[in-house]
Every structure is written in C-alpha cells, then in structure tokens.
C-alpha cells in the first residue's frame, strides 16, 4: 500500500505534488463544511422536539435573547432557516471543491500521458525495436486512464471520504464516545475483513487484466495493419478469436473487480440500518421520552447517512488501488525510463568537410546479443564522394546505415565526422546534415506536401522547396497532373492511395527537401519501374561530386554511378 502511494506520488511533477497538497487541504475544508452542515441540524432538532431547551441551554438562550426573539415559534423557524442556509452553503462549497478535484485529476491524466509520450519519443531507436508499438500505445492511451480511474481518482476519494468519516465519527464521539467506538469496531471489522479476503484476488486479476489488455491492443493493431495479408490468407477468424479471447478476459476481470469493490455496500447498509434501529430503541427504553431521543437519533441518522456511503467509497478506493497495482507498476517503470540526452545548444547541421568514418564497429541487436551483425567494421567516406554498398540479404547493410545515421549505438568502435565522434549531444546536428531514404517509407495520412515536408506544421511548409524536391524525385508530374488537389491531396492511411513507386518517390523527395549535404539511400529505387528508376538515378547522379552519398542496393544498375562499391559479407 505504501509503495503504491509512493509510486503514485512519483508520477507527479513537483508542481503537481504541491497542488495535490492544496487539494488535500481543500478536501479537509470540504469535510469541515460537511460537519458544519450536520451540526447545524442539531439545535434545530432539539428545539423542535422540546422548545423548553431554549431556556435550559445557555448558548441557545444567549442567541435567543441577543437576537431579540420573543416567541419560540419564530426562533425555531429562524434556526431552521439558518440550518438550511448552512447546508446550502456547504453544498455549494462542496460542488466547487469537487470541481477543482475533478479538474486536478483530469489534468493530471493529460499531464502524465503527455509526459509518457515525450519520454517514449526521447528513447533511442533501439528501445523501439525491442518493444511492441501496440504495447506502447496501450500504456499511453489506456493505462494512464486506468491508473487515473482506478488509482488517483479513488485515492482522492479515499482521502476526502476518509476525512468525512473521521469528522462524522468525531461528532458522534463528542455526543456519545461508546457509540462512536462501537461504530468503528463494527464497520471497520466488516470492511477490513472483506478487504483482506478479496485483495489477493484483486491483485491477481489486475495483473491478468494488464496482459489481456496488451493482447487486445496487439491483435487489433496487427489485424488492421496486416489487413491485406489477412484478406488473402483468410485469417479474419483467427484474429477475431484472438481479440475476442483477450477482450472477454478483460471484461470478466473488470466486472469481478467492480463486484468485489461494491459487495460490502449492501451488507454494511443493512448493518447500519439495524444499528440505527437498535440505538433508537435503546435510547427510547433509557429515557422513555421520544422528544429527547429525536435529536440524538437525528444526529446518528445523519452521521450514518453521510458516513456509510463515505466508508463504502473508501473501501471501493482501496479495492481499486489493489486492482490497478499491476498497471501502476507498468506505468511507473516506463515513466522512470531515462530522459533523452539534452542536445547541444547549437542545432546547426554538422556538415562534413573531409570525411565520414566508421572505425572498428561492433554491433549486435538487443534481442540477439550473441549474434554480432558487424564485428570490427571500418568504412571511410571522403566528402562529396559516393559509396555503394552491396551484399547478400541479411549481411548487415541496413545495420551499417542505421549506425551511420546514429540510430543504433555500436557496442564498440566510433562514428566520426571530420574526426569528431558523434555523441548523443551532437547527434541532432549530424542528423540535420543528412537526407535519408529508408527501405520502408513511412507515409502519414495527410497531404502530399506534408508528407514531403515531414514533421513541418502545414502552415509553415515551403511549397517551392517541396516542388523542387518532388521534381528531383520524379513525382512532380504525377502530383500536379493526376492528383485532384495536387500537393494538397490526401494520401490515405500509410499512403494507401499511392502506388509503391509513388510512395518511394515521396520518400526520396522528403530526403532531398532541405538539399542535404549527405544523402543515405537504402534500396531507395527498388519499387520503381526501369524508366522512373533511370530518371531518379540520373537526378542522383547529377548530385555526385556535390554531396556525400551512400547507396544500398541489390540492383547493380543503382550502384553504377557510385565512385566506389563496397561488398558486405555476413559475420559468422
Ligand atoms: N531489430 C532486429 N533485431 C534482431 N535482429 C535484427 C534486427 N534487424 C535486423 N536483424 C538481423 O541483423 C542482420 C542484418 O540485418 P540487415 O537488415 O542489416 O541486413 P541487410 O543486409 O540490410 O538485409 P536486406 O538486404 O535483406 O535488407 C540480419 O541477420 C537480421 O536478421
């Protein structure tokens, strides 16, 4: 429990932690308002039951004479009105505080999920090749919500309602300590026993629910991304079943957790009402006068009316805290990922003047640490020359390119530009000098222009630069003559409205957009027909001598224009 609270606390920024303390104070005031509301009913009920109490009670008498009352009736009406006003004021105050609490909780959700997204995006590329993307979306979108709904919101309720319960108990205690102790004993034992019985189960189904949710996201993601293959292989039923199984498990566990957190309500309600009737009878038997019993009964009744739901909400909060503890562990782990290294102050491109160099590179992927893809790999690329890299499939060509791009960190050896090693601090400057065409081009569901000027806000796109790059990539004619809205045409999810070759040319235009001094191309023309490939290659050939170019290609034709061809062989 303590570690759960500690983990929740660590999800907050220092400013949010301070705000949380303020919220706690407000909750305290809310409980005070609640108590004032209850206490204000006491004098009214007493006087209503037995007006003679005005003369017996020095406080009531002082108020009666000070305010110049002459008649009991008007005094009772006055007390009633004051009581109503206090209850109304307390309700208004509670509404405001509740709104502030809700706001705090929902803005926290926004803040935590935004920070988690930033934390993920700040991770090195290797992090993403080791984790499933559906799992990451699930944590950002579903688990933060889950933690808010099942942890922070119930936790804030545990505190607010805890204060209400304590205030109500104090009120009853002041009136009759024995009754207060009896209430604590009965209600506390009931809830405590039920909680001890269900907590292990809640934790277990909470853990299983996290796994079911992961499978739900993953099967959904895979099914929608691989829809072509699913259609061809008729794998709809298999995917549907995979999704359904996980979804059903999740639904069942959610329902069980709900039931387990609601169960004691009816039991405690029954106990509460039984207790109230027993107290009424005991009081009546003791005094024999219903008028004397009425105020005490009013107090107990109201305290029970406020306290039992509060105790139930508290219990529910604890139960949900237990249920969500596995989700919290997940979220806490990912929120504790290291922050991205701060880039150097200067973001100017690190343009090579002499050479780009890989020296003694050794690399193995995180999932297969014993299988070295590169071992003692050296490569020197003099500036403004072009290197073609060939080799059998799986030899490690793309891995070399990813290391040149600074996406993968070699385990040994260095990547340097003019003798300056590339580190996390100057990586951004190095990448600013590179235009890169990957093997699989990612096309976003936006306009052609926004896809070429990738990552630039729509209203800041330099359309002339976009057109220039598109001409070099041999896509300008297609965009202007065949797309209904030219560069503003939308390309669909992952560029579904474009052919493979058109997508590839958009990727090439993207790489050329800023006229980079360094150009890396990984199978950049593999999806083009011969005529288009020849035209693109011609455009790239015209750049030789003016840019430093590294090309990976299987087709010799794509490497013909290179100054040097390097053959990579698989390390055994
Ligand atoms: N994310 C990864 N995790 C583990 N192993 C990987 C990963 N990516 C690539 N590999 C392995 O590393 C080796 C080199 O892969 P790489 O993609 O660099 O080859 P390549 O020469 O570019 O191949 P191709 O010509 O088929 O694109 C292969 O054996 C591949 O299985």
Q: Three-state secondary structure along 472-529?
A: HCCCHHHHHHHCCCHHHCECCHHHCCCCHHHHHHHHHHHHHCCCCCEEEEECCCCCCC
pTM reported for the whole predicted model: 0.78
The last residue of a domain, from among 335, 363, 381? 335
Q: In this structure, are 285 and 409 located in the same domain?
A: no
Substitution candidate for ligand 1 out of 129, 365, 526 with most atoms within 8 A of CB: 365
Mean pLDDT of 449-457: 90
Q: Residue 342 falls within a domain, yes or no?
A: no
Q: Pick the residue whose CA is nearest to atom 10 on ligand 1.
A: 365
Mean pLDDT of 510-539: 81
Higher pLDDT, 121 or 58: 121
Question: Which ligand 1 atom lies nearest to the CA of residue 130?
Answer: 1
Determine the distance separating the centroid of ligand 1 and the alpha carbon of 397, expressed in angstroms.
Answer: 8
Q: Which two tokens stand for residue 337?
A: 């990922």
Residue among 208, 150, 105, 188 at smallest CA distance from 4: 150
> Which pLDDT band holds residue 473 (cuts at 50, 70, 90)?
confident
Task: State residue 410's pLDDT score.
Answer: 93
Q: Distance (Å, rounded) from C-alpha 554 to C-alpha 389?
A: 9
Q: Distance (Å, rounded) from C-alpha 189 to C-alpha 162?
A: 16
Residue among 520, 529, 516 at smallest CA distance from 553: 520
Radius of gyration over alpha carbons of the chain, in Å? 35
Q: Residue 375 falls within a domain, yes or no?
A: yes
Q: Residue 368 falls within a domain, yes or no?
A: yes
Q: In this structure, are 371 and 325 located in the same domain?
A: no
Q: In this structure, are 310 and 377 located in the same domain?
A: no
Q: Which CATH number covers residue 363?
A: 3.40.50.300
Q: In this structure, are 370 and 485 located in the same domain?
A: yes
Mean pLDDT of 242-261: 92
Task: State residue 244's pLDDT score.
Answer: 94
Q: In this structure, are 147 and 43 located in the same domain?
A: yes
Q: In this structure, are 194 and 262 located in the same domain?
A: yes
Say if residue 232 is exposed, middle or buried (CB neighbours under 10 Å; 0-12, 13-18, 19+).
exposed
Q: Residue 558 falls within a domain, yes or no?
A: yes
Whether 38 has a pLDDT exceeding 70, the answer reads no
What average pLDDT does the chain have? Answer: 85
Q: In this structure, are 187 and 258 located in the same domain?
A: yes
Determine the distance separating the centroid of ligand 1 and the alpha carbon of 395, expressed in angstroms.
Answer: 7
- In percent, how much of the chain has pLDDT > 70? 97
Task: State residue 436's pLDDT score.
Answer: 92
Whether 510 has a pLDDT exceeding 80, the answer reads yes
Task: State residue 365's pLDDT score.
Answer: 93
Determine the distance separating the centroid of ligand 1 and the alpha carbon of 182, expressed in angstroms.
Answer: 71
Tokens 């430093």 belong to 548
- In percent, how much of the chain has pLDDT > 90? 29
Task: State residue 535's pLDDT score.
Answer: 72
What is the β-pairing status of strands 374-382 and 355-363?
antiparallel
- What was the ipTM of the complex prediction? 0.96
C-alpha distances out from residue 380 to 208, 354, 392, 445, Å: 52, 10, 21, 38
List residues near ligand 1 (CB under 6 A).
129, 365, 367-368, 373, 391, 393-399
Determine the distance separating the centroid of ligand 1 and the alpha carbon of 394, expressed in angstroms.
Answer: 5
> Which pLDDT band holds residue 550 (cuts at 50, 70, 90)?
very high
* Alpha-carbon torsion (369, 370, 373, 374), positive or negative: positive
520 touches 436 (CB < 8 A): yes
Q: Pick the residue whose CA is nearest to atom 24 on ligand 1.
A: 393
- Report which DSSP code applies to 98: H
Q: Distance (Å, rounded) from C-alpha 469 to C-alpha 12?
A: 45
Whether 467 has a pLDDT exceeding 90, the answer reads yes
C-alpha distances out from residue 241 to 208, 216, 218, 247, Å: 18, 11, 13, 10
Task: State residue 355's pLDDT score.
Answer: 93
Q: Distance (Å, rounded) from C-alpha 151 to C-alpha 298?
A: 35
Whether 201 has a pLDDT exceeding 70, the answer reads yes
The last residue of a domain, from among 281, 303, 335? 335
Q: Distance (Å, rounded) from C-alpha 571 to C-alpha 372?
A: 7
Lowest mean pLDDT among 62-66, 201-205, 269-273: 269-273
What is the β-pairing status of strands 412-417 and 355-363?
antiparallel
Whether 501 has a pLDDT exceeding 90, the answer reads no
Whether 305 has a pLDDT exceeding 90, the answer reads no
Q: Residue 343 falls within a domain, yes or no?
A: no
Sheet with 412-417, strands from edge to edge, namely 374-382, 355-363, 412-417, 420-421
Whether 73 has a pLDDT exceeding 80, the answer reads yes
Q: Residue 532 falls within a domain, yes or no?
A: yes
Q: Distance (Å, rounded) from C-alpha 111 to C-alpha 572?
A: 48
Residue among 483, 485, 452 at smallest CA distance from 470: 452
Determine the distance separating the centroid of ligand 1 and the alpha carbon of 396, expressed in angstroms.
Answer: 6
Residue range(s) defining the domain that contains residue 276: 2-335
Whether 276 has a pLDDT exceeding 60, the answer reads yes
> Which pLDDT band holds residue 324 (cuts at 50, 70, 90)?
confident
Question: Which ligand 1 atom lies nearest to the CA of residue 401?
Answer: 18
Tokens 């965009």 belong to 479
Determine the distance separating the centroid of ligand 1 and the alpha carbon of 134, expressed in angstroms.
Answer: 22
Q: In this structure, are 241 and 388 located in the same domain?
A: no
Task: List all residues 6 or more positions away from 300 whose beta carbon is below 8 Å from its beta carbon.
Answer: 172, 179, 276, 279
Whether 344 has a pLDDT exceeding 60, the answer reads no
Determine the distance separating the centroid of ligand 1 and the alpha carbon of 370, expressed in angstroms.
Answer: 14
Substitution candidate for ligand 1 out of 398, 439, 552, 555 with most atoms within 8 A of CB: 398
Whether 351 has a pLDDT exceeding 60, the answer reads yes
Q: Distance (Å, rounded) from C-alpha 72 to C-alpha 60?
A: 11
Substitution candidate for ligand 1 out of 373, 523, 552 with most atoms within 8 A of CB: 373
Q: Distance (Å, rounded) from C-alpha 228 to C-alpha 205?
A: 35
Q: In this structure, are 143 and 32 located in the same domain?
A: yes
Q: In this structure, are 325 and 361 located in the same domain?
A: no
Q: In this structure, are 131 and 256 located in the same domain?
A: yes
> Which pLDDT band holds residue 421 (cuts at 50, 70, 90)?
very high
89 touches 68 (CB < 8 A): no
Q: Distance (Å, rounded) from C-alpha 382 to C-alpha 360?
A: 17
C-alpha distances out from residue 6 to 9, 79, 199, 468, 552, Å: 5, 47, 19, 55, 51
296 touches 144 (CB < 8 A): no
Determine the distance separating the centroid of ligand 1 and the alpha carbon of 123, expressed in angstroms.
Answer: 21
Whether 286 has a pLDDT exceeding 60, the answer reads yes
Please count the structural domains in the chain.
2
Whether 386 has a pLDDT exceeding 60, the answer reads yes
Question: Which ligand 1 atom lies nearest to the CA of residue 402?
Answer: 18
Higher pLDDT, 276 or 117: 117
Substitution candidate for ligand 1 out of 389, 395, 401, 555 with most atoms within 8 A of CB: 395
Residue among 260, 132, 240 at smallest CA distance from 194: 260
Determine the distance separating the centroid of ligand 1 and the alpha carbon of 65, expressed in angstroms.
Answer: 93
Determine the distance separating the centroid of ligand 1 and the alpha carbon of 362, expressed in angstroms.
Answer: 14
Whether 345 has a pLDDT exceeding 70, the answer reads no
Report residue 221 CA to chain centroid gap: 18
134 touches 218 (CB < 8 A): yes
Phi, psi of 81, rounded to the nearest 5 degrees: -65, -45
Substitution candidate for ligand 1 out of 358, 396, 522, 527 with most atoms within 8 A of CB: 396
> Which pLDDT band holds residue 84 (cuts at 50, 70, 90)?
confident
Q: Pick the residue whose CA is nearest to atom 14 on ligand 1.
A: 396
Report residue 203 CA to chain centroid gap: 21
Task: State residue 24's pLDDT score.
Answer: 82
- Interior angle at CA 32, CA 167 and CA 262, nearest 5: 55
Determine the distance separating the centroid of ligand 1 and the alpha carbon of 427, expressed in angstroms.
Answer: 23
Whether 525 has a pLDDT exceeding 60, the answer reads yes
Task: List all residues 6 or more positions away from 556 whose beta carbon is below 8 Å from its beta carbon.
Answer: 390
pLDDT digits (tens, 9 = 90+) for 221-232: 899 888 888 888
C-alpha distances out from residue 471 to 464, 512, 533, 540, 559, Å: 11, 10, 14, 12, 21
Determine the distance separating the centroid of ligand 1 and the alpha carbon of 230, expressed in angstroms.
Answer: 25
Q: Which two tokens stand for residue 124?
A: 């090195």
Q: Which CATH number covers residue 304?
A: 1.20.1560.10
Whether 94 has a pLDDT exceeding 90, the answer reads no
Task: List all residues 6 or more positions away from 219 whose beta carbon is below 8 Å from its beta carbon.
Answer: 239, 242, 243, 246
Question: Which ligand 1 atom lies nearest to the CA of residue 568?
Answer: 21
Question: Which ligand 1 atom lies nearest to the CA of residue 554?
Answer: 25
Q: In this structure, are 409 and 489 located in the same domain?
A: yes
- Report which DSSP code applies to 151: I
- Give the residues across from 363 on adjacent strands: 374
- Give the residues across from 531 on adjacent strands: none
Q: Which two tokens stand for residue 521?
A: 């191309």
Mean pLDDT of 117-138: 90
> Which pLDDT band holds residue 15 (cuts at 50, 70, 90)?
very high
Lowest mean pLDDT among 60-64, 404-408, 452-456: 60-64
Q: Residue 340 falls within a domain, yes or no?
A: no
Phi, psi of 396, rounded to the nearest 5 degrees: 120, 20
Q: Residue 350 falls within a domain, yes or no?
A: no
Number of neighbouring beta carbons within 10 Å of residue 283: 20
Q: Pick the residue whose CA is nearest to atom 11 on ligand 1.
A: 394
> Which pLDDT band holds residue 51 (cuts at 50, 70, 90)?
confident
């Amino acid at each position: 429990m303590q570690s759960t609270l500690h983990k929740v606390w660590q999800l907050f920024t220092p400013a949010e932690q301070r705000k949380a303390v303020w919220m706690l104070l407000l909750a305290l005031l809310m409980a005070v308002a609640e108590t004032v509301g209850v206490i204000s009913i006491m004098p009214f009920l007493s006087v209503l039951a037995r007006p003679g109490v005005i003369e017996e009670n020095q406080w009531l008498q002082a108020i009666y004479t000070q305010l110049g009352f002459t008649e009991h009736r008007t005094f009772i009406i006055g007390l009633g009105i004051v009581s109503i006003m206090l209850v109304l004021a307390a309700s208004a105050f509670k509404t405001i505080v509740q709104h502030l609490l809700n706001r705090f909780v929902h803005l926290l959700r926004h803040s935590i999920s935004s920070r988690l997204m930033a934390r993920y995006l700040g991770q090195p590329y290797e992090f993403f090749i080791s984790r499933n993307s559906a799992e990451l979306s699930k944590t950002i979108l579903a688990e933060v919500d889950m933690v808010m709904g099942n942890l922070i919101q119930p936790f804030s309720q545990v505190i607010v309602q805890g204060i209400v319960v304590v205030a109500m108990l104090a009120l009853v205690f002041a009136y009759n300590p024995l009754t207060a102790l009896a209430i604590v004993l009965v209600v506390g034992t009931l809830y405590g026993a039920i909680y001890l019985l269900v907590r292990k189960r809640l934790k277990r189904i909470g853990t299983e629910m996290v796994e079911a949710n992961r499978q739900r996201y993953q099967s959904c993601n895979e099914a929608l991304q691989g829809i072509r293959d699913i259609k061809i292989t008729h794998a709809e039923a298999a995917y549907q079943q995979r999704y359904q199984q996980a979804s059903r498990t999740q639904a069942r566990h959610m329902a069980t957790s709900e039931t387990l957190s609601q169960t004691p309500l009816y039991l405690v309600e029954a106990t509460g009402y039984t207790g109230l009737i027993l107290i009424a009878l005991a009081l009546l038997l003791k005094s024999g006068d219903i008028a004397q019993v009425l105020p005490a009964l009013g107090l107990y009744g109201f305290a029970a009316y406020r306290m039992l739901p509060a105790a139930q909400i508290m219990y529910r909060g604890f139960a949900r805290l237990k249920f969500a503890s596995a989700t919290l562990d997940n979220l806490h782990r990912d929120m504790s990922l290291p922050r991205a290294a701060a880039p150097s102050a200067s973001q100017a491109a690190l343009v090579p003047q002499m050479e780009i160099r890989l020296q003694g590179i050794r690399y193995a992927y995180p999932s297969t640490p014993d299988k070295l893809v590169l071992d003692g790999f050296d490569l020197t690329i003099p500036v403004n020359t072009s290197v073609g890299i060939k080799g059998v499939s799986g030899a490690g060509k793309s891995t070399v390119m990813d290391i040149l791009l600074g996406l993968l960190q070699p385990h040994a050896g260095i990547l340097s530009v003019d003798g300056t090693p590339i580190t996390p601090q100057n990586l951004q400057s190095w990448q600013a000098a590179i235009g890169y065409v990957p093997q699989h081009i990612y096309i976003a569901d936006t306009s052609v222009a926004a896809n070429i000027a990738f990552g630039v806000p729509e209203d800041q796109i330099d359309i002339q630069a976009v057109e220039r790059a598109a001409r070099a990539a041999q896509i300008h004619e297609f965009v202007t003559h065949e797309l209904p809205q030219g560069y503003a045409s939308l390309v669909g999810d992952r560029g579904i409205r474009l052919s493979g070759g058109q997508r590839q040319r958009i990727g090439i235009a993207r790489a050329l957009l800023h006229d980079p001094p360094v150009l890396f191309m990984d199978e950049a023309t593999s999806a083009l027909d011969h005529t288009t490939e020849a035209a693109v290659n011609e455009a790239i050939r015209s750049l030789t001598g003016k840019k430093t170019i590294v090309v990976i290609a299987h087709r010799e034709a794509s490497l013909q224009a290179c100054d040097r061809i390097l053959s990579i062989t698989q390390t055994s």
